[in-house]
A = this chain, B = another copy of it.
Amino acid sequence: MIVELISVGTEILMGNIVNTNAAYLAEQCTMLGYSVYYQTTVGDNEKRLSDAIKTAMTRADIILLSGGLGPTMDDITKETVAKVCGLKLIEDEKVREHIKRYFINRKIKKITDNNWKQTLVPEGAKVVENSNGTAPGIIVETKDCKIILMPGPPNELTVMMEEKIIPYLKKLQTNVFYTSMVKMSGIGESYVENQLMDLMKEQTNPTIAPYAKEGEVHIRVTAQGKSKEEAMALVQPAVKEIYHRFGEFVFTDKEDVTLEQNVIELLKKHGATLSTVESCTGGLLTGRLVNVSGASSVIKQGLITYSNEAKMTLVDVQENTLNEYGAVSEQTAKEMAQGAVKRYHTDIAISITGIAGPEGGSKEKPVGLVYIGCCIGKHVFAKEFHFTGNRSKIREASVANALTVLRHAVLEVYEGKVIENKSEQ
């Protein structure tokens, strides 16, 4: 089964935004066992969009269109698909209700007229609810081709894809695919790849492929079979082998489990509470942890100690320490964590202090130098990291590594596990 992607939007065409939707959709389709042969981007232009749809209909079984479903007069994807397929647009009562509720929930009294354009749907098409916006998704099924329309904003598109379109695409697929995503942190990508070269080369079903994410390495293991059970049975030995080779560095083999979720679960399991103390990351670590629903039983508070003064007043870092070693030092990182545990009575504290740049670096303390401190029970320690890249990349790497430091500390101190240093971060 062949899928073709068409991204609609002048802002993509002109390069104002990077087309992350195409990569996301292509990846999801590939995981479901579909082949993607072409991706096309066109602007909000009827003639060219119409040509792109007609061409795609001659060479694909399924067309995934994204963008151009909104309320503005620029948005013409739905209208163009209807025209190409010779379908009338008719009003959908459910969509009208959905839009009304959307605005009522937001306490917006005046709904501008152009919003009602979104209630029109090609005759006979399936309407797909949009949990994150007003424009519904639409599925038009012609004799030879299924045309699926999704809204362009990534937070609307990804949620609709996961909730509605993936289940729909799964039903169309005869072979069943099963994927495990083995995720590790605290270990280098090239090291992992070298250690898995033999498996990656010899396998065709399952296929094994690595993907790097900031501070993490993901290994995707995918197999196809006549049934889910058959595909799973092919995936499992490979997953087991990866666990065997990388042990505690693996934190999950499930696609939808994140590192922060794993850390929160681990802390919950031990009934441990956590304080965070962030300097250069300015709240990003806590932001990631708090995004886990139910994090509140673990995290009571976070401190963003961006200035020296805040480090002293909020977590009792000694003035001497700051003068002698500086704000970015092993000593300061340790005192930040220790101070938080003492003052806020949590079981564990994790701290980050570093130089994210572009200013503030020196020869002795260059941009990218980051200390991650941890206080857990009687143990207090800090680790030194050297990250590269721009300000936001250094901050992201700091957060990912802080999560790993925290995870490993819990495994070592609470569970008595030994974690070797295989890191090449």
With both beta carbons as reference points, the residue of chain B lying nearest to A38 in the complex is identified as B42
Instruction: Type the 1/0 row for A189-215, where 1 means its CB is closer than 8 Å to any CB of B.
Output: 011011000000000000001111010
Known interface pairs A286-B282, A301-B306, A303-B301; A389-B291 also in contact (CB < 8 Å): no
CB atoms of B293 and A74 under 8 A apart: no
Known interface pairs A282-B283, A304-B276; A15-B40 also in contact (CB < 8 Å): no
- Please give the distance in Å from A116's CB to the nearest CB on chain B: 11
Query: With A and B bound together, what is the CA distance between A38 and B27 in angstroms?
Result: 22
CB atoms of B306 and A282 under 8 A apart: no
Known interface pairs A19-B22, A72-B210; A13-B40 also in contact (CB < 8 Å): no
CB atoms of A392 and B291 under 8 A apart: yes
- Interface footprint category on A: 35 or more
CB atoms of B23 and A155 under 8 A apart: no
A418 at interface by CB-CB < 8 Å = no
A90 at interface by CB-CB < 8 Å = no
Instruction: Type the 1/0 row for A271-296, where 1 means its CB is closer than 8 Å to any CB of B.
Output: 00000101011111111011101111
A175 at interface by CB-CB < 8 Å = no
- Please give the distance in Å from A86's CB to the nearest CB on chain B: 24
Partner of A211, one of B11, B42, B155: B11
Known interface pairs A102-B388, A283-B278; A299-B306 also in contact (CB < 8 Å): yes
- Please give the distance in Å from A423's CB to the nearest CB on chain B: 9
CB atoms of B108 and A424 under 8 A apart: yes
Query: With A and B bound together, what is the CA distance between A7 and B202 in angstroms?
Result: 27
Query: With A and B bound together, what is the CA distance between A105 and B272 in angstroms?
Result: 36
A145 at interface by CB-CB < 8 Å = no
Known interface pairs A42-B38, A72-B193; A20-B18 also in contact (CB < 8 Å): yes
With both beta carbons as reference points, the residue of chain B lying nearest to A28 in the complex is identified as B15
Residues on the B chain within 8 Å of A107, using CB = 384, 386
Known interface pairs A37-B42, A287-B284, A301-B305; A105-B368 also in contact (CB < 8 Å): yes
Complex interface: stretch among A235-243, A307-315, A329-337, A372-380: A307-315
CB atoms of B19 and A23 under 8 A apart: yes
Residues on the B chain within 8 Å of A39, using CB = 12-13, 40-41
A88 at interface by CB-CB < 8 Å = no
A18, A48, A133, A282: which has the most chain B beta carbons within 10 Å? A282
- Please give the distance in Å from A308's CB to the nearest CB on chain B: 9
Query: With A and B bound together, what is the CA distance between A190 and B293 in angstroms?
Result: 32
With both beta carbons as reference points, the residue of chain B lying nearest to A425 in the complex is identified as B106
A153 at interface by CB-CB < 8 Å = yes
- A149-198 interface (Cβ within 8 A of B): 153, 155, 159, 188, 190-191, 193-194
CB atoms of B132 and A191 under 8 A apart: no
Query: With A and B bound together, what is the CA distance between A285 and B293 in angstroms?
Result: 18
- A203-247 interface (Cβ within 8 A of B): 209-212, 214, 220
CB atoms of A389 and B190 under 8 A apart: no
Residues on the B chain within 8 Å of A14, using CB = 26-27, 30, 36
Query: With A and B bound together, what is the CA distance between A300 and B313 in angstroms?
Result: 11
Query: With A and B bound together, what is the CA distance between A40 and B132 in angstroms?
Result: 29
Partner of A13, one of B10, B26, B299: B26
A323 at interface by CB-CB < 8 Å = no
Residues on the B chain within 8 Å of A50, using CB = none
10 more contacts with CB within 8 A, not counting A70-B212, A283-B286, are A13-B36, A15-B29, A105-B388, A115-B190, A131-B389, A282-B299, A283-B285, A283-B287, A283-B290, A303-B304
**A-B CB contact pairs (8 Å), 18 listed:** A13-B37, A14-B36, A15-B25, A16-B209, A16-B211, A19-B22, A37-B45, A38-B41, A72-B193, A132-B393, A155-B389, A155-B396, A282-B290, A283-B286, A293-B359, A293-B391, A310-B344, A313-B344
